[in-house]
Amino acid sequence: MPWDSTPHHRIPLGVARIKKILVANRGEISVRVIRTAREMGIATVAVYSDADRDALHVELADEAYRIGPAPALESYLDADKLIDAARRSQADAIHPGYGFLAENAAFARRVVAEGLTWIGPHADAIDAMGDKLRARRAMREAGVPVVPGGTEAIGDVAAAREAASKYGFPLALKASAGGGGKGLKIARSIDEIDSAFATARREAQAYFGDGTIYAERYLENPKHIELQLLADKHGNVVHAGERDCSLQRRHQKLWEEAPARMPERARTAMRAAGMRAAAAIGYDSVGTIECLVAGDEFYFLEMNTRIQVEHTVTELVTGLDLVREQIRVAAGEPLGYAQDAIAFRGFAVEGRVNAEDPAHEFRPAPGTITAYREPAGPGVRVDSAAYAGWTIPPEYDSLIAKLVVWAPTRDTAIARLRRAIREYVVVGVPTTLPILCSLCDQPSVVDGTYGTATLEAFARTWQPPAGDGVPARRRTAVSLAGRAQARRTAPRLSVLRRNAASGGGNSVLSPMHGIIVELRVARGDRVGEGQVVAVVEAMKMMNEIRAHKDGEVAQIHVAAGAPIEAGSALMTLQ
């Protein structure tokens, strides 16, 4: 961190009330929480599924407890197992990280009922903001502008069609209990309504256990700006500025930066609205107000009642440790500083390093990392749980690391990010590093005018560097043995490229390892080129698989609920 703010200097190293924290999560966020807790003199407890037995967060924690098999529903989403691990370890607090049960009000209440400290906002605040329909109604009542759309659930396709006629196209169908792009589908015409509604509801049920969907107008290429808030249990609320999170694929963020470039009129209004919203629900933790900004106008999108993946860029420009603040507030401490004590210095950019193939629509690509080296140097931070030999499980999200840089100016920050990317070595799986490097030179990124539609449009015409998609300088840093092992352990993408080039023959292939969620055709059905024939869940994404040509389904090789390997045939056409 390039500097420390005044508020940070006032924070004591230890919190008397909390002695041991169970981190009810996995991966880099668990490592992140463990590190701050250790600095505060607090013991930590990790939990792990069978897929994460050799994970870094398990090694770093003071204690670790197995909570079940790989599927999240049988491990990280099983409240009984988490509470049991807390009892056995004698933890007195639970930090939920992000995702999984982080915004589950019932789990928060359960934690408190068990006599444990919940490191997050009170359950009523999670209820108020976690349900997007309730949040929209609350914001309207508070005078905060919301995206044009409904405040009631969409129960069926007929209701979705009615919403389209009322609000127009493009129409967003969104999970009321959702976030992070899950349970969000866009219909651009009446012909897409049925598929968008079915997929959004399926994702909502799978990821959040709640299939409730609502509709709102989808704004084309606005800025996606979020405001970081901090509030304590004594009525104090401050903000830590804005982040621009507009560079997204599949409505999930890939590049974030702070401070956000936006009109000052919108910035001032958003800050005032965010503070009002937090005060209205008695918010008492770290939280984020997400908005869409078009010109001088902003619209409330949702509130995330947890730490965000991209909290790092805010930390670098303010000097705050937001995880430390969460723990302090949960322990009952006042913030201890006012708004004018938070100073903003320099610029920070985060690029998400994901196990995805950006040359093939960001397909998830689990596998084994055979060589790994993180960049370093002035102003470079890497939040990760990766290492050489780590196998990225297909059951969870694709995040390998967060590469974050700070510099006095934005131009220098982007140049520093470009340099750090070229130093980063990840071999064995495709990653988003090459496209992040290209984004550093993309004109609308350089001048800051990009919006939510920029990245996907750029990716459609983007070509990876020659060879295997890894810049030559990075390839030469890996031993011949490492490269040979990489070829043995991760052959799938080269196979898929050959199949794509040859048209795939008569077989419809799965482009990724995953689970068959749905088969939309049966033997004997006629299908057209581009028609969705199956849905495969891979690394927390629902992926629609489309026919590559016209034909009749001669044979189906898989069943709903079954696993499938990348490059394997789903069905044969004739």
pLDDT single digits (tens) 376-403: 999 999 999 999 999 999 989 999 999 9
Dihedral of alpha carbons 50, 490, 488, 436, sign: negative
If DSSP states are collapsed to H, E and C, what string results for 342-409? CCCCCEEEEEEEECEEHHHCCEECCEECCEEECCCCCCEEEEECCCCCCEECCCCCCEEEEEEEEECC
Residue 9 has pLDDT above 50, yes or no: no
Residue 510: Cβ-neighbour burial (10 angstroms; 0-12, 13-18, 19+): buried
CB within 8 Å of 449: residues ≥ 6 apart:
none
Tokens coding 424? 């980063």
Q: How far is CA 25 from the centre of its chain?
A: 14
Mean pLDDT of 253-260: 98
Would you place residue 502 in the very low, low, confident or very high pLDDT band (cuts 50, 70, 90)? very low
pLDDT confidence of residue 539: 66
Q: Is the omega angle on the peptide bond into residue 430 within 30 degrees of 0, that is, cis?
A: no
Mean pLDDT of 324-338: 97
pLDDT confidence of residue 5: 45
pLDDT confidence of residue 489: 35
pLDDT tens track for 180-224: 677 889 999 999 999 999 999 988 887 777 889 999 998 889 999
Residue 22 has pLDDT above 70, yes or no: yes
| Higher pLDDT, residue 232 or 487 | 232
Please report, for the chain, how many H helices and E strands are present, in that order: 19, 30
Residue 495 has pLDDT above 90, yes or no: no
Mean pLDDT of 259-286: 94
The whole-angstrom separation of Cα 420 and Cα 461 is 24
CB within 8 Å of 292: residues ≥ 6 apart:
147, 219, 222, 223, 224, 225, 298, 299, 301, 452
Residue 482 has pLDDT above 70, yes or no: no
Q: How far, CA to CA in Å, does 369 sit from each of 32, 238, 388, 467?
A: 21, 41, 5, 19
Residue 501 has pLDDT above 50, yes or no: no
Are residues 284 and 326 in contact, defined by beta-carbon separation less than 8 angstroms? no
Residue 481 has pLDDT above 90, yes or no: no
- Percentage of the chain modeled with pLDDT above 90: 72
Number of other CB atoms surrounding residue 62 within 10 Å:
15
Tokens coding 17? 């009330």
Would you place residue 138 in the very low, low, confident or very high pLDDT band (cuts 50, 70, 90)? confident
Element containing residue 410 per DSSP (H, E): helix 410-423
Residue 299 has pLDDT above 80, yes or no: yes
Compute the mean pLDDT over every residue in the chain, rounded to the nearest whole number. Answer: 88
Q: Three-state DSSP class for 89?
A: helix
Residue 443 has pLDDT above 60, yes or no: yes
Return the amino acid letter for 429: V
Q: In sequence order, what DSSP letters do the residues of 257-282 get, joined into one string?
A: EESPP--HHHHHHHHHHHHHHHHHTT
Main-chain dihedrals φ then ψ at residue 547, nearest 5 degrees = -65, 140
Are residues 528 and 487 in contact, defined by beta-carbon separation less than 8 angstroms? no
| Higher pLDDT, residue 105 or 538 | 105
Residue 253 has pLDDT above 50, yes or no: yes
Which of 119, 178, 487, 472 lies closest to 327 in space, CA to CA? 119
pLDDT confidence of residue 491: 31
Which of 438, 441, 430 lies closest to 495 in space, CA to CA? 430
Which of 486, 510, 515 lies closest to 499 in space, CA to CA? 510
The whole-angstrom separation of Cα 409 and Cα 49 is 42
- Least confident stretch, 43-47, 425-429, 530-534, 564-568: 564-568
pLDDT confidence of residue 494: 28
Q: Three-state DSSP class for 228?
A: strand
Q: How far, CA to CA in Å, does 49 sit from each of 79, 328, 432, 564?
A: 14, 29, 26, 21
Q: Is the omega angle on the peptide bond into residue 170 within 30 degrees of 0, that is, cis?
A: yes
| Higher pLDDT, residue 177 or 110 | 110
Mean pLDDT of 499-523: 75
Residue 2 has pLDDT above 70, yes or no: no
- Least confident stretch, 269-278, 429-438, 461-470: 461-470
Tokens coding 116? 């444990």
Return the amino acid letter for 60: L
Would you place residue 543 in the very low, low, confident or very high pLDDT band (cuts 50, 70, 90)? confident
| Higher pLDDT, residue 133 or 86 | 86
Looking at residue 192, the DSSP 8-state letter turns out to be G
Return the amino acid letter for 405: V
Question: Domains in the chain, start-ordered, CATH in brackets?
Answer: 6-120 (3.40.50.20), 148-217 (3.30.1490.20), 355-397+409-490 (3.30.470.20), 503-573 (2.40.50.100)
Dihedral of alpha carbons 490, 99, 228, 296, sign: positive
pLDDT confidence of residue 388: 98
CB within 8 Å of 364: residues ≥ 6 apart:
355, 356, 394, 398, 512, 513, 514, 538, 539, 541, 543
Would you place residue 225 in the very low, low, confident or very high pLDDT band (cuts 50, 70, 90)? very high
Instruction: Give 50-58's long-range contacts (Cβ < 8 A, gap of 24+).
Output: 50/75, 51/393, 51/395, 51/396, 52/26, 52/393, 54/390, 54/391, 55/26, 55/27, 55/385, 55/390, 56/31, 56/385, 56/386, 56/387, 56/390, 57/23, 57/26, 57/27, 57/30, 57/31, 57/385
| Higher pLDDT, residue 349 or 133 | 349
Main-chain dihedrals φ then ψ at residue 76, nearest 5 degrees = -70, -15
Would you place residue 130 in the very low, low, confident or very high pLDDT band (cuts 50, 70, 90)? confident
Would you place residue 144 in the very low, low, confident or very high pLDDT band (cuts 50, 70, 90)? confident
